[in-house]
């Protein structure tokens, strides 16, 4: 009686409701909420008058978010289509050579310095793990942890411009370009590009050929692509001027993707702000 039916779904997606749901959940591996416990919860709802004012705004934000998400998906789809069509045309014109990845890149596998040695940690050199690599950006310059220069003696140094590629476990295929000198753990192989191939081209090629790359893991409990296997993967390498054309398109689309992501954050924050409880 105190809640407008159309308002309830938005309230159940709010931080107010979700934080309470987490607080009353049981179990660590697979948290569940008992209906009886949830039914006993008391929430402070806005007045019906305020709900009526909020509902059109919430509906508009929700619709805008759905359209924004659809635009993001379409952008990623068209980037793949543009890449594949351009490569196909270049192959027809014989402007592409098929090279082994190990012939156009130097491949380096990361290593974790002894974790209990304090002198190796909390320095100013980024130490990247698969969890640090995000699909939100082509580039990476920081992670959760840093190592010292002494720690760098225990792991290969990865130069700026290298393509980081996760090669073990469920995260195989996650990739990013190092935008500064850094280091990685052993789950990541760093592809240090020669003058034949641009990092931005290589990472987009990887993103467009993930299924091909994953086939090299073989059948095993924990999928893995080792350094020698990775080096033998065939990669299409256009002339540099053609790579650059593709890279420019990718950069434009990546810039648009960031704008859409920011818009999504703004819409989310606007929705959250409407649930800040105050007097009507």
The enclosing domain of 146 has a CATH number of 3.90.220.20
Is 132 among the domain residues? yes
SS3 assignment, position 198: coil
Residue 268 lies in a domain: no
Task: Report yes or no on 12 lying in a domain.
Answer: no
Q: Is residue 246 part of a domain?
A: no
Which domain covers residue 132, as residue numbers? 96-238
Closest CA to 117 of 144, 152, 143, 159: 152
Task: Give the C-alpha distances (Å, rounded to integers) separating 64 from 69, 117, 238.
Answer: 9, 50, 39
Residue 253's pLDDT is what? 87
- Is residue 166 within 8 Å of residue 188, measured between CB atoms? yes
Cα Rg for the chain, rounded, in angstroms? 24
Residue 33 lies in a domain: no
Which tokens hold the place of 110? Answer: 């990361």
User: Does any domain span residue 272?
Assistant: no
Of 67, 59, 60, which Cα lies nearest the Cα of 6? Answer: 59
Confidence of residue 192 (pLDDT cuts 50, 70, 90): very high
Residue 87 confidence class, pLDDT cut points 50, 70, 90: confident
pLDDT for position 280: 46
Non-local (6+) Cβ contacts of 183 within 8 A are 110, 125, 126, 127, 128, 147, 151, 152, 155, 156, 157, 158
- Domain assignment present for 245: no
Count other C-beta atoms under 10 Å from residue 266's C-beta. Answer: 14
- Cα separation, 258 vs 240, whole angstroms: 26
Ranges 43-52, 82-91, 158-167, most confident:
158-167
User: So what's the pLDDT on residue 279?
Assistant: 43
> Structural domain tally of the chain?
1
Which helix (H) or strand (E) segment holds residue 89: the answer is helix 48-92
Kindly state whether residue 280 falls inside one of the protein's structural domains: no
Q: Is the pLDDT of residue 278 over 50?
A: no
Q: For the ranges 32-41, 147-156, 229-238, which has the lowest average pLDDT?
A: 32-41
Share the mean pLDDT of the chain: 91
Q: State the pTM of this model.
A: 0.76
């Amino acid at each position: 009686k105190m809640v407008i039916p159309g308002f309830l779904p938005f309230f159940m997606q709010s931080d107010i409701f979700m934080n309470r749901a987490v607080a009353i959940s049981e179990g660590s591996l697979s948290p569940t909420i008992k209906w009886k416990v949830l039914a006993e919860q008391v929430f402070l709802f806005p007045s019906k008058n305020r709900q009526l004012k909020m509902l059109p705004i919430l509906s508009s934000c929700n619709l805008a978010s759905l359209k924004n998400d659809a635009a993001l998906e379409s952008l990623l789809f068209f980037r793949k289509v543009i890449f594949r069509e351009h490569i196909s045309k270049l192959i027809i014109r014989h402007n592409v050579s098929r090279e082994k990845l190990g012939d156009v890149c130097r491949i380096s596998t990361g290593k974790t310095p002894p974790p209990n040695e304090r002198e190796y940690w909390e320095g100013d050199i980024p130490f990247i793990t698969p969890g640090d690599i995000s699909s939100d950006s082509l580039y990476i310059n920081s992670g959760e942890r840093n190592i010292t220069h002494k720690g760098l003696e225990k792991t290969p140094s990865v130069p700026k411009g290298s393509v980081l590629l996760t090669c073990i476990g469920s995260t195989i295929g996650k990739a990013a370009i190092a935008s500064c000198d850094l280091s990685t753990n052993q789950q990541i192989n760093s592809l240090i590009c020669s003058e034949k191939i641009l990092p931005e081209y290589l990472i987009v090629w990887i993103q467009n050929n993930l299924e091909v790359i994953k086939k090299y893991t073989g059948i095993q409990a924990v999928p893995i692509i080792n350094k020698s296997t990775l080096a033998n993967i065939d990669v299409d390498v256009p002339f540099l001027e053609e790579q650059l054309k593709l890279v420019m398109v990718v950069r434009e689309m990546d810039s648009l993707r960031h704008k859409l992501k920011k818009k999504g954050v703004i819409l989310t924050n606007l929705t959250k702000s409407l649930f800040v409880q105050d007097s009507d």
